[in-house]
Structure 1
C-alpha cells in the first residue's frame, strides 16, 4: 500500500490548498444524512473540520492506520479489506483519496457495499490519472520502495465498478487549480479532462429484490357460457330497419 502521508504534505502547498477548498465544499454538500445517523470516513485527511461538525454528528468516525484526523476521539484502527463494522450498519461512507493508495480497490468497494444500509450514501474523492501535474507531484514525493506511478483510477472506471455493485451514481464533479467553482464531471471533454486534478463521486446503494413468479393455475369456469348463435346478415339488416 502506498503511503498517504504524501497526501498531507502536498495539501500544505499553494495548489494543494486550492484543491482542498473545492473538495471540502463538495464533501460538505455531500453530507446530507441526519445528525443521528452513522458516518464512516475511511482514510484521514487532517482537515475534517472543514466539511463536518463532529459536535453535531456524534456518530462520525474516521478509520486510518497511518494518520490522525482532527477528531482523535473519533479515530478507529482497522484494515480496509475487512472493515470493523457490521453488515448494513452504516448510513454514509466517505472515501477521500483512499482508492488511489490502496492495492485492494475492488475489495474496499465490496466492503463498503457490505456495511452500508440499503439506500446508504457513498462519496468518493480521487485524483485524476490523466493529469500530468498530479503524477509528477507523486513521483517527487513518493516514499521509498513504492511504485514510480500512483495507482490512480479514472472516474468512468470507478463508476463502472460501482454499477456492478448496484450503486447508482447521483453526481460527479471535477476540481482544478484554475477556478474555485466545482465543474460537472459529466460534461468533460478530453481537453478539460486533462486539466481536472481530482474528481468527486456521489452514489447511493440500491437494493433490488427479485419477486419469484408462481405458475398460473389452470382456469376452470364455474358457469357454463351460452353458445353464441350466429344471426344471418338478412336478419340483422331486418332488425336494423325495424
Structure 2
C-alpha cells in the first residue's frame, strides 16, 4: 500500500472517508455510474476488490448471479460472501470470473500493474473489468499533490490519468468500452452547496476530461487463434486448492 498516515490500511481509511459529506457525495455519483455500467453485464461471478461498504447497494442491482467481495478489512461476520487475499495475488482460478470491480484499488496499491495482470488472469474471455480511479489532471489531483503522500486517505493515494490506465489495459489485451468522468466540483465541502449541480453541468460541457474521478469499463479480448470455451461446458471452480498468480512482468512497472 501507499505511505498513508495512520495505523490502518489506506483502503480502510478511504472507507471511513466515504462517510464524510464530500465522500458521501462522491460515493453517490460513483454508485450511479457503476449501476449503469453493470446494467448490461451478465454472468455467474462478479468480484469486488477493495472498498466494499459504499458500493453494496450499487452491486445489489447487478444481473450477475453471484457477487463476491474481497474487502480491504474483512469483518468477522461478513454480510455477503467474502474472500481474503492480496489484490496482486488473487486467490481465484484463472478464467473463472465474469466481471471484476476495482473501486480505487489501484490508487492505493504498490503494484497496480500486478493487480491488472491478475485481473486479466482470472477474467474469462470477454469478461468485464470496471476500474474507478482519482484523476491526476483535476482539482482533486492538485489537492493530492499539495497534501503529500503521507497525509490521510484519499489524498495519500497515487493518482493517475485515465490515459495511463488505458495504456496499461491495452498492453494486457483489454479493449476499452466505456469511459466516464465524475465530480467536477473541487474537493471542498463548500462545493456541495446548491450551486454544486451547476458546476457539475458546466464541467461536463466545458472540461469533460477534468473530472476528479474516472470510471473505465474494459473487456478482456483473446487471440482469434485461441478457441473460446464452449458456453455449455461446466464452469471451472472459483476457488481451486492452489492458485498460481500470473508470472508475466511488465518492464515499465
Q: State TM-score, norm by structure 2.
A: 0.69
What SS class does the counterpart of residue 163 from structure 2 fall into? helix
Q: Between the two structures, name the one with larger relative contact order (CA 8 Å, sep ≥ 6).
A: 2
Q: Hey, what does 2:49 align to over in structure 1?
A: 42
**Equivalent of 1:173 in 180, 186, 211:** 180
Give the equivalent residue in structure 1 for 2:219.
204
Q: Give CA-to-partner distance per residue, 1:21-46, whole Å, 9 cap, x none.
A: 11101111122333x61001011231
The 3-state SS of whatever aligns with 2:170 is: helix
Distance 1:93 1:182, change over 3 A: farther
Are 1:164 and 2:179 counterparts?
A: no
Q: Which residue of 2 aligns with 1:12?
A: 19
Q: Does the aligned pair in 2 maintain the 1:166–1:206 contact within 8 Å? A: yes
Instruction: Note the C-alpha offset of 1:143.
Output: 5.9
| CA-CA distance at 1:57 after TM superposition | 5.0
Question: For residues 128-181 of structure 1, what are the alpha-carbon distances to aligned partners after superposition, in whole Å with 9 as ceiling and x for unaligned?
Answer: 11234455369389568x9x8521111011001111111110110000134499
Structure 2's unaligned 5+ residue stretches are: 3-9, 186-195, 227-253
Task: Tell me if the contact between 2:175 and 2:220 (Cα under 8 Å) persists in the aligned partners.
Answer: yes
Q: Considering only aligned residues, what root-mean-square deviation do their CA atoms show, in Å?
A: 3.5
- Where do 5+ consecutive residues of structure 1 fail to align? 212-242
Answering whether residue 94 of structure 2 is matched by residue 87 of structure 1, we say: yes
Residue 119 of structure 1 aligns to a residue in which SS? strand
Count of paired positions? 205
TM-score by length of 1: 0.72
For residue 152 of structure 1, the aligned residue among 149, 159, 174 is 159
1:105 aligns with 2:120: no
